[in-house]
Structure 1
């Protein structure tokens, strides 16, 4: 189908499993994460999707997930564009810290604000607003034009970089997007009109 954008969050990482703030740190996938990514590829193949172009972040958990999706879809020669604009939100001083330990150090309420507010960054890190301000120009300049040329484009990225895209595509408010959960390894499929507006969205 023309003008199709597929968004997938990488499979579960080793630090997701350990309940650590990950951000720009670069842990690998767990066995569950590998299976999640493979299943995404199987589902896309079974629903007849043919990819023209892929984008991913500079982090290996996303790159490995994309490789697994393409392998399951039987895709051999695919153009893959890697760019750190699609990286996860930078958690700054929280990176590598257990979320429960962070709550003990700074308090439940403060950690909750850092995690779930739109525009309050953790020390040395990015807010979701900051993340959106690097993701969306890259999307508008590099990804959207490819989709609007009639291609089916897959973006394999991260919870917060994808939140920025979902906020734009679904026209969500800051209050709505911070509450939206993005599951690991689950394709989100958008059909766009010639102006880049969402016509429909769904899964596989």
Structure 2
């Protein structure tokens, strides 16, 4: 199990599991009516309860983006409240061509870029301390383009753990620069559902070949995978386990998190957050480039919908923390402009 770590040890946050190849034919992804986690925890998602991790361990290693001592002490004073932002990536080149994409790594279209930028504007007043993305470029592009719009102007930096040399060569040695950066952690566990032999096929032609009903079952059922691919249940097993082990402890420690991922991996996480049944999750639709906001407080997730835009005050009134953060941004902006 990946160990939960604080922001001080962010370079080591990508666990050994992140280095595993994308292999859906492992024992971890059992195709049954309930999730069988790699930690031997078994849950039926129709009865699942959100569990907040209570502690996070701190590594003593020198890391890529370790904050200064002042920031460390400031983080200890934070209340147990944090923002969680979920963003489905913008339109990809294969979305545009109506092809099954799955885990094939294709970039955004021009429209997808615009969707990512718009998503960034919607969350430009919401604090973000750490970003998790899938290992696929369309999710990473979405995260980067969104953060460029943020008023805090921190620089998102993708952490590389391909090898010890990659980690060493990408280190940042300026404390000031570290404090103006946001770590971005890619994880294959957040990848889109692997569509097996459907990947690269035109969706309309596939329906004509196999029949609309069969293709509908592959796309929308909970536990029926396409040929040599993953079912939603299998995708949920890896995505939710990663969320519990790596992301939820960050939220419990008061860190504000953004996740840029995919339709099915985000459906899986929302299933966990909202305690949806198998039937409810298969009918859940997520629009590309529309951020969803949750507040994590006292071990519970509260859904707050989607921020309308940087000038919309309503969403920031849900907590004092968000309201104060926006107030500080406004004050600092006035100082800069004066």
Q: Deviation digits for residues 123-173 of structure 1, max 9, x if unmatched? A: 000000000011011000000000111111000000000000010111111
Distance apart, 1:75 and its partner CA: 2.3
- The structure with the larger Rg is 2
Q: Which has the higher contact order (CA 8 A, sep 6+)?
A: 1
Mapped partners of 2:303, 2:105: distance in 1: 33
Matches within 5 A, 1:1-204: 2-45=81-124, 48-73=125-150, 74-76=153-155, 77-195=181-299, 197-204=300-307
Count of residues paired in the alignment: 201
Mapped partners of 1:158, 1:95: distance in 2: 15
SS at match of 2:182: coil
Distance apart, 1:17 and its partner CA: 1.0
SS at match of 2:105: coil
SS at match of 1:3: strand
Gaps of 5+ in 2: 1-78, 156-180, 308-338
Mapped partners of 1:108, 1:15: distance in 2: 20
Mapped partners of 2:94, 2:242: distance in 1: 27
Query: 2:83·2:127 contact (CA, 8 Å) conserved in 1?
Result: no
Gaps of 5+ in 1: none
What is the TM-score of this pair, normalised by structure 2? 0.58
Mapped partners of 1:190, 1:50: distance in 2: 12
Q: Deviation digits for residues 8-30 of structure 1, max 9, x if unmatched? A: 00111011111111000011101
What is the TM-score of this pair, normalised by structure 1? 0.96
Mapped partners of 2:279, 2:113: distance in 1: 32
